[in-house]
Amino acid sequence: MSESSNKKIVVVGGLNMDLFIQADRFPLPGETFEGDSFYTGGGGKGANQAIAAAQLSGRGVVEMIGRVGDDAFGVDLLANLNRYGVGTGAIQAVDGEASGIALIFSDAQRENYVLPVYGANTTCGDDEVERGRQLMSSTSVLLMQQEIPTNVTSAIAKHGREAGVTVIHDPAPVRQLPKGYFDSVSILVPNQLEAEALTGIEVTDAASAREAAHAIRKTSVPVAILKLGADGCYVVGDGIDDYFPGHKVEPVATVAAGDAFAGGLATGIAEGMSLSDAVHLANATGAVSVTKEGAQDSMPSRAEVQAFLESR
């Protein structure tokens, strides 16, 4: 992994307003069933990961590339990023477009069901690629997902690779991908469902996670980190072939745990940590995040994560 530097973490990805509904269960077809609560909050995998990294790294370290609509949600999404110290100069507000939204239903077991409508995110194009190219010379880690057009993500990843940037890719949501899509990726970080979609291997435990991680590395990705939710992750690459257990906590909401993990991983790599130490930071960040409500509001500060690790 790269040496420590003062360069930025750049996040390319989706910005959505999350609409949270909590209820014991889904209503049946034709049924009206009363829920327990409703609230809104900033979301989108890209924005979540940017805030996670900013909470750990401090203000002025993280820059985000993406798009919002020219609506009230767009104003709120940008304000929230600014509140957490994420740079928003490379985010466009698109005239005549609605900002992305995601309806998130949480049941009595705190399982989450997410239904996004990506809106302005889907209009990302050449402007974002050019912004990415311009930022790469001052970037240490590029963090990406799949909520904006994959051709944009792929083009920016190529600029990152050419500039010697560590490219971390979270392959979510699952999409049909062109051959060679991961050629510029340094670290691929799928969850169990995403890994199965990529490899055809059903991931149920550490052993099957190891098998899937090795299969992913054969696609030219140097490092595969397969997330196992509360059970931690399996890492293959950079001299590591090992299982990293998760931390046992009492979950409140798990909606952005994977995004917290990604932000922690990016921060560790950007600070010059070994891959092993960066994974430990990522695991702890994800664990603390699930003890709080919301998505962006659940991202823990560096002090919270450090206190959590010291308590363990």
Averaged pLDDT in 10-residue chunks for the chain of 312 residues: 66 96 93 95 96 96 98 97 97 98 88 90 98 97 97 98 98 94 97 97 98 95 97 97 96 89 98 98 97 91 97 88
What domains appear along the chain, each with residue ranges and CATH number? 8-26+35-311 (3.40.1190.20)
What spatial distance separates the first Cα and last Cα of the chain, rounded to whole Å?
A: 26
Strands of the chain (E only): list them.
8-12, 16-22, 37-43, 62-69, 87-94, 100-106, 112-117, 139-144, 166-169, 187-188, 223-227, 233-237, 240-244
At position 245, the amino acid (one-letter code) is P
Are 80 and 296 a contacting pair, CB within 8 Å?
yes
Q: What is the pLDDT of residue 3?
A: 43
Does pTM top 0.85 for this prediction? yes
Q: Report in angstroms the alpha-carbon separations of 79 from 73, 76, 85, 111.
A: 10, 5, 10, 29
Q: For residue 6, what pLDDT is reported? A: 65
pLDDT for 253: 79
Catalytic residue positions, numbered: 259
Backbone angles phi, psi at 294, to 5 degrees: 85, -175
